[in-house]
A and B are shown apart, each in its own frame.
Chain A
Amino acid sequence: MIPSSFDYLAPATLGEAVNLLHEHAGDAKILAGGQSLIPMLKLRLAEPALLIDINRIPGLGYVDERDGSLRIGALARESDLETASVVRQRYQILNDTTAVIADPLVRNSATVCGNIAHGDPGNDHPATMLALEATFVAVGPRGERRIAARDFFLGLFSTALNEDEILEEIVVPRPTAPAAGAYLKLERKVGDYATAGVAVQLTLDASGGCARAGIGLTNVGAMAIEAVRAQDFLRNKPLDSPTIAQAAEIAAGEADPIEDRRGSADYKRDVVRVLTARAIRIAANRAAGANIATPLPFTYSPSQAALRS
């Protein structure tokens, strides 16, 4: 499959890229990792007149902690998240998420910011960024603006980014210990979009109960869903089995899936219920100090000790 013809420019600075995007607003697309864009071009689902390749701009590939936040630059690859030690130490939910995105070959090219900016409800990072209360930094001709994750996703392939803005950076506030998260995804095979995915980030109180919960849902709606009722329900509650089960029921009720090849709407809601309960348990155990490795889909098992409350 061959894309439609387009012009191609590879600016050397972010300022130049923004100017080009502004000049050609509506006709141009940003090329970063290209792992969503290039398939769309090949299928001619998108036929922009101009591609602005930002890969030649130096200094955008960072994943580091500064000023109390994790910062992920526009050119940080999924594989960079997998290898960053700070992510392993304090943002294990991001490790969990990256590990189930596409496959290792795609992750060597795909960018984290692209996963967000694309606005695909099947992408995995949006739910995790909702759970982590991340902020997205957009840069446009009028300068930078910061957009909270919960204000960013507007609908199917629709985000708060303007046509002449580039997602420059993701800022994740450093969790205050004891805190941890987990991301679980049911997929039919490696590289598939989620049948459903659930991101949970917990902060515990002094007695091991829930001080704060962030819960995001993947691919069970037109965009990533923040399960606000389940979050509110968990706040200031002990993390015992009945509470976890009830929170999972509430999260399932907040999912809004449609039937497709991955299953019926009822089935997907039930997957959300099961994964929410498991993710809460893993997050709570991690926050309490347990060393629980990234759960890979083909190693999921309800009998795993990690999943017991």
Chain B
Amino acid sequence: MSKHSVSVTVNGTAHRSEVEARLLLVHYLRDELRLTGTHIGCDTTHCGACTVLLDGKPVKSCTLFAVQADGRSVSTVEGLELGGELHAVQKAFKEEHALQCGFCTPGMMMSAVALLERNPSPSELEIRQAISGNLCRCTGYVNIVKAIQHAAADMRATRHTPAYVPAQEPAQVSR
């Protein structure tokens, strides 16, 4: 067993921890940092419930070790809300009824946020491709696609600034 000192910036806050090499990023987020918004669904790299942004790119946090995130920036669903205001994607998911049980929703929204930062006006096909690694067993995806289109329109209208924090000086250090 090997222990490693890691420094990971999560939603703008730098965290320093001693982790075992085999600790998965999703377990680090949920068990060490108590950020339980990131869900574990299939645990086999299929369902995308555990999607987070690593330096702005969506990845499956069940298929990444915490040591690999050393020195890097992670964004989770908890970081979407800023100053008490929901992110445009969160608002749109609510307004378009884009969830039923809600289990896939955090991962689904992180994929949507990453898409809209890269492509402010995605086509329906581009949206469906972007969320093709996120499984939803309730909605049939129709309202999820609508919500992402809705959020895209809102973000274009309000010149939305990115909610995730790219790698930069940590705002504060905990632990």
Contact = CB atoms under 8 A, between A and B. Distances in A.
Contacts of B43: 1, 42
B100 interface: no
Contact of A6 (B22, B59, B132): B22
Interface in B37-63: 43-46, 48, 51, 54, 57-60, 63
Contacts of A106: 45, 60, 63, 133
A35 B65 CA distance: 11
B22 A103 contact: no
Nearest to A53: B68
Given A4-B22, A6-B22, A190-B133, A108 B2 contact: no
Contact of A104 (B20, B22, B132): B132
B97 interface: no
Contacts, number: 85
B75 interface: no
Contact of A7 (B21, B45, B54, B133): B21
B48 A5 contact: no
Interface residues on A, range: 20 to 34
A51 B58 contact: no
A166 B68 CA distance: 19
Interface in B115-163: 129-130, 132-134
B171 interface: no
B4 interface: yes
A105 B22 contact: no
A61 interface: no
A53 B67 CA distance: 10
B64 A5 contact: no
A34 interface: yes
B77 to A, nearest CB: 15
A7 B21 CA distance: 7
Interface of A: 1-8, 10, 31, 34-35, 38-39, 41-43, 51, 53, 55, 79, 102-106, 108-109, 190-191, 296
Interface of B: 1-2, 4, 20-22, 24, 27, 43-46, 48, 51, 54, 57-60, 63-65, 67-68, 111, 129-130, 132-134
